[in-house]
Amino acid sequence: MARKAVSTLDFSRLRQAWVRIGLTTQPAERDAAEAAVRKAYQAAGLAVPEKVVWCESPFSQALVRAIVLDPHFADGVVSSMWVNVKKTNGPGIRDDIKDAFCSSMRLFDTGAVKQRLINAIKNDVTAGMYEHMLGTMNESVRFSATDSVWQSIWHSVWESTEDCILTAIGDGIRAAVKAQDKQVLEDTIRSRLTACIGDSVKTTVWDGVMENAWANIRSGADSKARVSAWKNLWEVLQKPIWENIASPIGEHVKTCASGSAQASGYGQHDAYWLSFYAYFREVEGLEEETEQITGLLDLAKTAGWFTPHARVCWVSERPRTLSLNDKGKLHSSDGPALTYPDGWQVYATDGALRFSSVPQ
């Protein structure tokens, strides 16, 4: 059977569709996006994440990951937990570790005490990490760390870790009672917090799947089709979506959490390269060869950036507003060129970032 001719109309249709995906400001389709995350993990041969945690901007997403993985976060949980358990037991608490923890355990087993304890830890650690994170940011990034953004960040931090913290404290107290050693409690909480997030799996979920799909396309499509798809989709869409939108966002995010930026996939802003694979799937009929990449295709169509870890995947909302000049670059002369639901705003003139902030 003769292979059908490469159609200019096919390329035009796909370009328009993927530009819309890359530049949309519609709210994320959260249920569909979470299903896409699970599909992407499974395609990469990974267990699905135990939690999908939503963040309101790529900036918030990067900081949430940075906070959760920061050693100061675990240290803050440990110190706050120890102080507040003793407060729960009252001023007459004994110094003997076994008696202290046995008493703590009895109190901790009640729902009311658990909630008071987690609220106290949340308040203490939030305040401490706020100061710590601000101290590590440069001035331009601190403009972005306003109250509305921090509120969004802390909501996602505790959504990521609250169950784990409660479990870690329970396990740690039991272990400390048995060992009669406060250090056991501290070590248990730190190790459980690290384990509940797991390692970054971006390379497996993103790079690995792309490499596999590319190998399949190389064997399933002739070189003329590959070159045409490259020139008409990947190459054409890279500038308006990646260079003009995603890259400026990423450069700002890197200044506050470079590791988080590098551990992220870009969802809708991966449109420039995903359109290439969509062409071979939808037009050339290489469905089996591109099956592994459908989770990433679906995620780009339904959400913004994402940061995959073994047990938690953070996913960002799409922008709320986007302003471009006639060359497709971020631009606004009288306000932010880009805004996200948590209030994070990027100001730019003809593609050059001026600063990002929320006016007070």
Domain boundaries, the chain: 8-46+201-318, 64-197
- Contact criterion met (CB below 8 Å) for 299 and 267: yes
| 289 and 45 Cβ atoms separated by less than 8 Å | no
Question: Would you give per-residue pLDDT tens digits along the chain (360 residues)?
Answer: 445 555 677 899 999 999 999 999 999 999 999 999 999 999 999 999 999 999 999 999 999 999 999 888 888 888 887 777 666 554 433 345 556 556 555 555 666 767 777 888 888 899 888 888 877 776 666 666 677 888 899 999 999 998 888 887 777 777 766 776 777 777 877 888 888 899 999 999 988 888 889 999 999 998 999 999 999 999 999 999 999 999 988 888 887 777 888 899 999 999 999 999 999 999 999 999 999 999 999 999 999 999 999 999 999 999 999 999 999 999 998 889 999 999 898 888 888 877 554 433
pLDDT at 166: 81
Query: What is the spatial distance between Cα 11 and Cα 332, in angstroms, rounded to a whole number?
Result: 31
**163, 273, 311, 318, 338 from 64: Cα distances, Å:** 16, 27, 15, 17, 20
The sheet with strand 352-356 has its strands ordered as 321-322, 338-339, 345-349, 352-356
Q: Say what the pLDDT of residue 6 is.
A: 55
Give the burial class of 194: count Cβ atoms within 10 A of its Cβ; 0-12 exposed, 13-18 middle, 19 or more buried.
middle
Contacts of 20 (CB under 8 A, 6+ apart): none
Quote the DSSP letter at residue 244: I
How far apart are alpha carbons 52 and 243 in whole angstroms? 28
CA 163 to CA 195: how far, in whole Å? 13
